[in-house]
Amino acid sequence: MSTYLIKGASLLGERVADILIEDGKIARIGQDLETADAQVVDASGQIALPGLVDIHTHLRQPGYEASETVETGTRAAALGGYTAVFAMANSLPVADTAAVVEQVDRLGKESGWCRVQPIGSVTVGLKGEFLSDIGSMATSEAKVRVFSDDGMCVYDPAIMRRALEYVKTFDGVIAQHAQEPRLTEGAQMNEGKVSADLGLTGWPAVAEEAIIARDVLLAEHLNSRLHICHLSTKGSVEVVRWAKSRGVQVTAEVTPHHLILTDEKARTYDPIFKVNPPLRTEEDVLALRQAVADGIIDVIGTDHAPHPAESKECEWACAANGMTGLEQALSIIQMTLVEPGHITWADVARIMSETPAKIGSLDAEQGRPLAEGEPANIVLVDPKATRVIKPEEQATKGKNNPYRGMEVPGAVRATFYAGHPTVLNGELASPRR
């Protein structure tokens, strides 16, 4: 394995140092390091962060390769600074057996652009009727620890209770897509003034908040771990705040798009802005940003959801839900949270690397601090760079990007995955194999 010397990086934006990488680990950190056989990477003016970890990615394989593959999705992840992603279970077949999660695990290892950790479904076929084979997925080679029916809500409280009881036996976690189905039948966008103006069926905030309230009570009763996917409303923040004040083992994520876009985008009737949960109000957006700053929201999850063009180039009601997100997530977080002063770059390392790795039980290798002896999972970002988002130039197959034409700050210059550079000079280098 090659040796690399990163020169002049700002560690978490706090102090400038050199980083020597040998045998996949951080060998030394210090000033004016020199070694004869190392490839030098000039990181002047760049911030070094631990490799990012996405707790919520849709890689679509197996079954939906027209939308994305593990190969294309992890290329996008590497370009976004990620060294690990958790792959959601809504593939075809659904990841509800050991065989399917092991296939996803194998595809990730063959790809080599980042660590791919499969998420298993909570129920068979995501239908919400019977628990999936959670035990076999947990003991499989993939060692699944996160289970989710994302895209669908585990709406039956008895099923949810049994799932929380089951995963408690091996310190697993249930990641809930909080959406009361009876309150969102036919819903097209956030319920509010804009939906009334447009005559589109609304998706009320209470449909999210009611499920979160129910599930934190179940988690408290069972002393089990619960994770809330893509939290999107001010009311949901308050429910989670209350649960945490009681010591409930609950964590929550927010997506970059819910931190910057509002339901006003629906006035364009452009289905690129159709997503589940829907874009909410400006009041919700500001509450979500504050919740990240307060630590009520624990992590950023991209909910990267690529679709083929025909699924978005149609009328709003017929369009698929979802947006891509891996390649610009860090820029959106810099724009909405770092530059306004809500959080620091050290906080970015916590919410986009350390904590998601802990939630998903990958913290032995991912989300580790930038310290000697630790795995060399590192991203170098130039915070002063600016770029215009051009979806057609991105690595993901999905061009359903809501930021098209937007100028955003920050650019990933290099990504090191276990000491191997998957990205150098802002471009894909080679996979780690």
Annotated binding residues for substrate, written as ranges, equal 58-60, 90, 276, 307
Question: What count of other Cβ atoms lies within 10 Å of the Cβ of residue 75?
Answer: 24
b/e per residue 29-52 (b: at least 16 CB within 10 A) = beeebeeeebeebebeebbbbbbb
Residue count (the chain): 433
Q: How many CA atoms lie within 13 A of 199 on its CB side?
A: 0
Q: How far is CA 10 from CA 27, 181, 419, 425, in A?
A: 17, 47, 18, 17
Instruction: Look at the block and give the residue holding tokens 């051009």.
Output: 390
Pairing of strands 115-118, 250-254: unpaired
Q: How far is CA 339 from CA 32, 285, 328, 385, in A?
A: 30, 16, 15, 13
Rounded distance between C-alpha atoms, residue 399 and residue 272, angstroms: 9
Among residues 18, 105, 263, 303, which one is catalytic? 303
Torsion over CA: 307, 313, 318, 321 (sign): positive
Q: How far is CA 380 from CA 13, 26, 27, 92, 304, in A?
A: 11, 14, 17, 35, 21
Q: How far is CA 154 from CA 150, 159, 163, 360, in A?
A: 9, 7, 10, 19
Binding-site residue ranges for Zn(2+): 56, 58, 150, 177, 230, 303
303 is catalytic: yes
Rounded distance between C-alpha atoms, residue 337 and residue 345, angstroms: 10
Rounded distance between C-alpha atoms, residue 293 and residue 48, angstroms: 21
Rounded distance between C-alpha atoms, residue 59 and residue 65, angstroms: 9
- φ/ψ region of 173 (left if φ > 0, alpha if ψ in -120 to 50, else beta) reads beta
Binding-site residue ranges: 56, 58-60, 90, 150, 177, 230, 276, 303, 307
3-class state of residue 48 by DSSP = strand
Contact predicate 5/38, CB 8 Å: yes
| Residues catalogued as catalytic | 303
